Every structure is written in structure tokens, then in C-alpha cells.
Amino acid sequence: MDRALIERYREGADSLARGIAGLSHDQLLAHPVPGTWSIQEIVLHMADCDLIGAERMKRTIAEERPTLVAFDESAFARRLHYQEQDATLAAELFRLNRLMLAAVLEWLNEEDFARVGIHSERGPVTLAEQLKTHTEHLEHHLKFLHEKRGMVRIAP
């Protein structure tokens, strides 16, 4: 496993807070691209996904072939009131979660990264694959966050 991936994961810790810095409540809640999530919804989605991902990775480290339960991200956004939550608090939760798990990942050896969890939809997945998925997931959503940030900044 390329240990630089752990650093990429850790470096993402502050990205949501930087991405929303200086935005007003209205800008966070704006939908500059109709039919897609607001910046706030992206931040809350990332916080939830990272908490779930951390729990899955920890279970993969600690348990033998644990079941990693899938979840419905759209239902989370809809039913957990993403529009009403505090994006700054979610970004801080995301930051702390990333930093804590990155420290654990640093202590692991190559055999640990080969450990497997059984995802309820995708089947067997190694710890290294999970880390890569969560690192790239943030990078994927940051593109949308920054695109929308540019749109809400120039809006009247």
C-alpha cells in the first residue's frame, strides 16, 4: 500500500472548512446548479460519509471480515435535515475524524491494509481500498463544492 495515501487522506482534513470559509448562510444553502446539492448539503454529506467510512475502516482493522453496511446517501440528506444543520460544525467534525483515523492508519503495517471487510453491496473490500475510496470521494466532492462556491460568490 502506498503510504502517501494516508497523507492525502490527512491533508483533506481541513478542506471542508476552507471550502466554506467566508460564505454566508444564504450562500451555503443556495442551489446554483438546479437539481444538485447545495454547498451545505455537500459538507454534511462528506461529514456523514467520513464518519461511516471511519467506522468501517476501524471495524476492518479490529474485527475479522466484518460486515460493512451500505447506506442511502439521499435518504440521509433528506431525513437528517442537512439544510438545517451547522456546516461549520460538520466541517470541524470531519476534520477531527480525519486526523484521528490518520493517526491510527500510520501505526498499521502492510498486513493490516490487506485486511478485508465485507460490504453489503460491493462484497469484499480491503482496508487499503477503503482508504483510497474515502480519499478520492472527498476530492471528487471538493470539485463540486469549489465550482458552486464560485457561482454563489458572483451571484447578486
Taking Cα atoms as reference points, which of 4, 3, 5, 1 lies closest to residue 136?
A: 5
Q: What is the mean pLDDT of residues 68-82?
A: 96
- Give the domain 4-154 fold: Four Helix Bundle (Hemerythrin (Met), subunit A) (1.20.120)
Taking Cα atoms as reference points, which of 65, 64, 145, 54 lies closest to residue 102?
A: 54
Residue 9 identity:
Y
Whole-number pLDDT of residue 153: 72
Whole-number pLDDT of residue 154: 64
| Residue written as grid cell 495515501 | 5
Residue 125 has pLDDT above 80, yes or no: yes
What's the rounded Cα separation, in Å, for the pair 138 and 37? Answer: 15
Q: What is the mean pLDDT of residues 19-33?
A: 95
Q: What is the mean pLDDT of residues 94-106?
A: 98
What's the rounded Cα separation, in Å, for the pair 44 and 89? Answer: 9
Residue 42 has pLDDT above 90, yes or no: yes
Q: What is the mean pLDDT of residues 33-53?
A: 97
What's the rounded Cα separation, in Å, for the pair 88 and 28? Answer: 10
Residues whose CB falls within 8 Å of the CB of residue 145, separated by 6 or more in sequence, listed in order = 16, 19, 20, 39, 42, 43
Residue 155 has pLDDT above 80, yes or no: no
CB-side exposure of 17: number of CA atoms within 13 Å?
14
Residue 41 has pLDDT above 70, yes or no: yes
Start-to-end CA distance of the chain, whole Å, equals 48
Q: What is the mean pLDDT of residues 24-33?
A: 95
Residue 156 has pLDDT above 60, yes or no: no
Taking Cα atoms as reference points, which of 101, 95, 2 lies closest to residue 55?
A: 101
pLDDT band at 9 (very low <50, low <70, confident <90, very high): very high
Grid coordinates belonging to 134: 474515502
pTM score:
0.95
pLDDT in tens, 145-154: 999 999 997 6
Residue 142 has pLDDT above 80, yes or no: yes
